[in-house]
Amino acid sequence: MNVAAHDSDTELLRRLRAGEEHAFVTLVDRYAASMLRIARMYVPSHAVAEEVVQETWLGVLRGIDGFEERSSLRTWVFRILVNRARTRGERERRTVPFATLAQDELDAPFTAVDADRFLPADHDRWPGHWALPPERWDDSPVRHLDVMHLRTRLADAVAALPETQRLVVTMRDLEGFDAAETAAALGLSEGNQRVLLHRARSRLRKELEEVRHG
Amino acid sequence: MAERREDEEIACREFVEVITDYLEGALSDGEARALEEHLQTCPGCETYLAQMRETIARMGSLPREELSDATRGVLRDAFRSWSSRRE
């Protein structure tokens, strides 16, 4: 996230507090896609996600006079969103707390690339080096018609990720949050945020590799 | 990678597991240098890094959702009543 976006959120916050409706609507629209996407990860339908976004903004209006700007407006709004979405999701869908899900994913064994693509550790010349190195993707350029297919497969692969990995990679690589904001909004340490990001990105790369090279 | 000696060579198998730490700037200077030296001599890992970057870029182009007009209307009304209560 860049400095200009921060500044402009600050300016909009000032105007919102002064009662300017246009500033409020601009913020609502600016955050809409991210908020819906993140809310949708906790709740079972798009309709409920819209309700969570709506409740979040009502909560923002109620709390805005007490907001002391120790974090950015965006971080504050998304923390409210995640809390509400989580509460709503636990009520409607499941009882497993987010921290438990995250810990289960962190504890699961993981390799970014299948072990059989590397030479064995006791190889006399090249232990642990590529046996089957990845092929360059730019040698097989994506045709225009294939772009939509690639996008669909990627979206499906994101949807199939374990829950906390999906949240982290979506916030980071789709919505453009930085590491600290993502960790804060989800209540993760920055180290665990990075492990989950790594697992998610590695799986998505693998998926794109399969699409490109069948 | 903490146990690594600085002059020790990195294996590809390890490279693919620390690549995110590298992209996130979470490696020490020595670790990052070892990784960059490996990249210069390993086309496979260079390709892998390019693929990770392309994956990240493609994530950013997935479609975005919008709020319904109904929800936007509710929020606009809520703002009006909030701001009139403050006057």
C-alpha atoms less than 13 angstroms from C-alpha of A37 in its C-beta half-sphere? 23
Residue A210 CB neighbour total at 10 angstroms: 11
Q: Which carries the bigger pLDDT value, residue A184 or residue B73?
A: B73
State yes or no: pLDDT of A5 exceeds 60. Answer: no
Which residues does residue A118 pair with via DSSP β-bridges, in sequence order? A130
Q: Which of B28, B61, B87, B42 is nearest to A129 (CA)?
A: B42
Segment B13-26 shows an average pLDDT of 97
State yes or no: pLDDT of A24 exceeds 80. Answer: yes
C-alpha atoms less than 13 angstroms from C-alpha of A2 in its C-beta half-sphere? 3
Segment B50-61 shows an average pLDDT of 94
Please name the residues between 6 and 35 in chain B that touch chain A, using a CB distance below 8 Å: 11-14, 16-17, 19-21, 24, 26
Structural contact between residues A109 and B17, judged by C-beta atoms closer than 8 angstroms: no
Q: Do A173 and B11 touch (CB under 8 A)?
A: no
Q: How far is CA B37 from the centre of its chain?
A: 22
How far away is chain B from the Cα of A109, in angstroms, using its nearest Cα? 12
How far away is chain A from the Cα of B33, in angstroms, using its nearest Cα? 18
A26 vs B contacts (CB less than 8 Å): none
DSSP structure string for A161-176:
S-HHHHHHHIIIIIS-
Average pLDDT score, chain A: 88
Enter the DSSP assignment of A127: T
Contact partners, residue A79, CB within 8 Å, separation at least 6: A71, A184, A185
pLDDT tens across A38-95, in order? Answer: 888 788 888 999 999 999 999 999 999 999 888 889 889 999 999 999 899 887 765 5
pLDDT tens across B21-52, in order? Answer: 999 999 999 999 999 999 999 999 999 999 99
Residue in chain A nearest B54 by alpha carbon: A205
Structural contact between residues B21 and A194, judged by C-beta atoms closer than 8 angstroms: yes
Share of chain B above pLDDT 90, in %: 78
Question: Which alpha helices (DSSP H) does chain A contain, by range?
Answer: 3-17, 21-40, 46-63, 73-92, 98-107, 144-159, 163-169, 179-186, 190-213
Rounded Cα–Cα distance for residues A197 and A41 (Å):
16
Q: Compute the Cα dihedral for A151, A156, A162, A167 and give only its sign.
A: positive
Q: The whole model's pTM is what?
A: 0.80
Structural contact between residues A207 and A153, judged by C-beta atoms closer than 8 angstroms: yes
* pLDDT for the residue A100: 83
State yes or no: pLDDT of A103 exceeds 70. Answer: yes
Give me the phi and psi of A42, to 5 degrees please: -105, -25
Residue A196 CB neighbour total at 10 angstroms: 28
Classify A13 as helix, strand or coil.
Answer: helix
How far away is chain B from the Cα of A174, in angstroms, using its nearest Cα? 4
Rounded Cα–Cα distance for residues A164 and A202 (Å):
15
Largest CA distance in chain B: 69
Q: Do B19 and A112 touch (CB under 8 A)?
A: yes
Enter the DSSP assignment of A143: P
Average pLDDT score, chain B: 89
Question: What is the H or E stretch that residue B55 is in?
Answer: helix B43-59
Rounded Cα–Cα distance for residues A134 and A141 (Å):
15
Q: Does B1 touch chain A (CB under 8 A)?
A: no
Q: Which carries the bigger pLDDT value, residue A1 or residue A130?
A: A130
Rounded Cα–Cα distance for residues A73 and A79 (Å):
10
Q: Does B68 touch chain A (CB under 8 A)?
A: yes
Q: Binning pLDDT at 50, 70 and 90, where does residue A109 land?
A: very high
